[in-house]
């Protein structure tokens, strides 16, 4: 067996299952799960209809690169959404459909990292655990960049020394961030692109929460957008990852894309051709339809705004919690140890949240996830409000 497998840590939800295994919640309270970031809003009907209308595609092997129809829909969406120069994105060279960003974020490190070069992979801390596992199985050493309240829940990139940047082969970003919802500014992205050029590394920007934000007039900036403003319309060293899971409430469709540097995409396509992970044709048709439609995304944001308004009105008097700049998570400080709070909240109120320390790693500088919990506002408005009221009742009794 690959000895690197022994370096993988249990997934956060494995830890959560063990934490709650011997706890017995009240029978009279219905369970409410705020622990998993699985969208629960209805999938737009036209996506399912398009999928069903193209089931004859199951009789055909799909190409790893995807159909021109889907690649063009993605390129058009990226150009509109991030105000890229017309024709800067070539659907043939810059875009690659994938079966959800999870598998692509993992596979990307396997294609990018040179394990013989004492490689570092830099990632935010707390983080989506796929980044860490991808780095370890690629033969690299993860380097955790603390995201604390003092740094706006984003890494302090200026504190990273030159020797670390020199060993860096891959930098994972997440904006809006999971779990904090923090959004990287244009100036920060531009600085990172300059560092990538100087120190010869690739930036992998996980932007799967980019379409969930509170202000319709102020969408989060993207990495390709920052590159284009700098005049880097080849998108050198810049690769972005997007998904329909959060944007279109279609997590089961397993559909997303990777886009950016054409040379990197060419090599990644070669890797994926051997990896054997082409997207089925019915999924591709449904995905193209989803990327072509924006109204359902506007409606989705409205539903999340309503939930944030209602939940924060209940929680702000009992917890240190703020509205995020993006995404659908709350990331409050806890009045107890985060694991104790999560266990007691489940046992006493039948509400499940995820301890922040299950999403982070302790380093010499401390553990930036400890003392916080992640709450995913993915359930219905009524359930989210009910959960907030139970949490508030719990906190008042402490």
Same domain as 181, residue 73: yes
Same domain as 306, residue 240: no
Same domain as 177, residue 153: yes
pLDDT at 299 exceeding the cut of 90? yes
Last residue of a domain, one of 293, 321, 342: 293
Write out pLDDT tens, residues 134-168: 999 999 999 999 999 999 999 999 999 999 999 99
Same domain as 368, residue 276: no
pLDDT at 116 exceeding the cut of 90? no
Say how many domains are in the chain.
2
Q: Which domain holds residue 343?
A: 3-42+296-396
Six-digit token pair at 12? 């956060």
Query: What is Dmax (Cα atoms) for the chain?
Result: 60
Last residue of a domain, one of 264, 293, 322: 293
pLDDT score recorded for residue 215: 97
Same domain as 224, residue 82: yes
Q: Enumerate residues 6+ apart whose C-beta is below 8 A from 166.
A: 199
Cα distances (Å, whole numbers) of residue 60 to 47, 63, 278: 20, 9, 11
% pLDDT > 70, the chain: 100
Same domain as 283, residue 300: no
Instruction: Name which of 377, 273, 329 is nearest 62 in CA terms.
Output: 273
Same domain as 254, residue 314: no
- Cα separation of 307 and 381, whole Å? 6
Last residue of a domain, one of 244, 270, 293: 293
Averaged over 358-380, what is the pLDDT? 97
Same domain as 324, residue 230: no
- Cα separation of 95 and 77, whole Å? 11
CATH of the domain at 148: 3.40.640.10
- pTM for the model: 0.97
Same domain as 359, residue 313: yes
Same domain as 181, residue 273: yes
- Cα separation of 24 and 319, whole Å? 25
């Amino acid at each position: 067996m690959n000895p690197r497998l022994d370096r993988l840590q249990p997934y956060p939800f494995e830890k959560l299952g063990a934490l709650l295994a011997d706890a017995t919640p009240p029978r009279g309270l219905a369970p409410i799960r705020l622990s998993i970031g699985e969208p629960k809003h209805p999938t737009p009907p036209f996506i399912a209809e398009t999928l069903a209308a193209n089931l004859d595609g199951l009789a055909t092997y799909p190409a790893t690169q995807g159909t021109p129809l889907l690649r063009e829909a993605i390129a058009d969406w990226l150009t509109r959404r991030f105000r890229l120069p017309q024709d800067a994105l070539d659907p043939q060279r810059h875009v690659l459909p994938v079966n959800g960003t999870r598998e692509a974020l993992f596979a990307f490190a396997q294609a990018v990292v040179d394990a013989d070069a004492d490689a570092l992979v830099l990632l935010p801390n707390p983080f989506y655990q796929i980044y860490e596992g991808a780095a370890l199985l690629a033969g690299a050493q993860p380097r955790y960049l603390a995201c604390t309240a003092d740094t706006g829940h984003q890494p302090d990139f200026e504190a990273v020394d030159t020797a670390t940047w020199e060993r860096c082969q891959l930098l994972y970003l997440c904006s809006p961030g999971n779990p904090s919802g923090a959004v990287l500014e244009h100036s920060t992205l531009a600085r990172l692109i300059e560092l990538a050029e100087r120190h010869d590394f690739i930036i992998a920007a996980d932007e799967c929460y980019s379409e969930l934000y509170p202000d319709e007039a102020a969408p989060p900036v993207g990495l390709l957008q920052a590159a284009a403003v700098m005049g880097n319309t080849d998108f050198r060293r810049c690769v972005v990852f997007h998904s329909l899971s959060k944007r279109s409430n279609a997590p089961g469709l397993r559909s997303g894309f990777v886009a950016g540097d054409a040379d990197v995409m060419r090599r990644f396509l070669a890797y994926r051709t051997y990896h054997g992970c082409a997207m089925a044709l019915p999924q591709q048709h449904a995905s193209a339809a989803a990327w072509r439609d924006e109204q359902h995304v506007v409606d989705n944001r409205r539903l999340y705004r309503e939930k944030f308004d209602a939940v924060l009105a209940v929680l702000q008097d009992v917890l240190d919690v703020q509205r995020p700049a993006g995404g659908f998570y709350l990331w409050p400080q806890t009045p107890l140890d985060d694991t104790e709070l999560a266990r007691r909240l489940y046992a006493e109120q039948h509400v499940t949240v995820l301890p922040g320390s299950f999403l982070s790693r302790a380093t010499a500088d401390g553990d930036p996830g400890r003392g916080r919990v992640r709450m995913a506002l993915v359930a219905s408005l009524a359930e989210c409000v009910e959960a907030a009221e139970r949490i508030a009742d719990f906190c008042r009794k402490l």
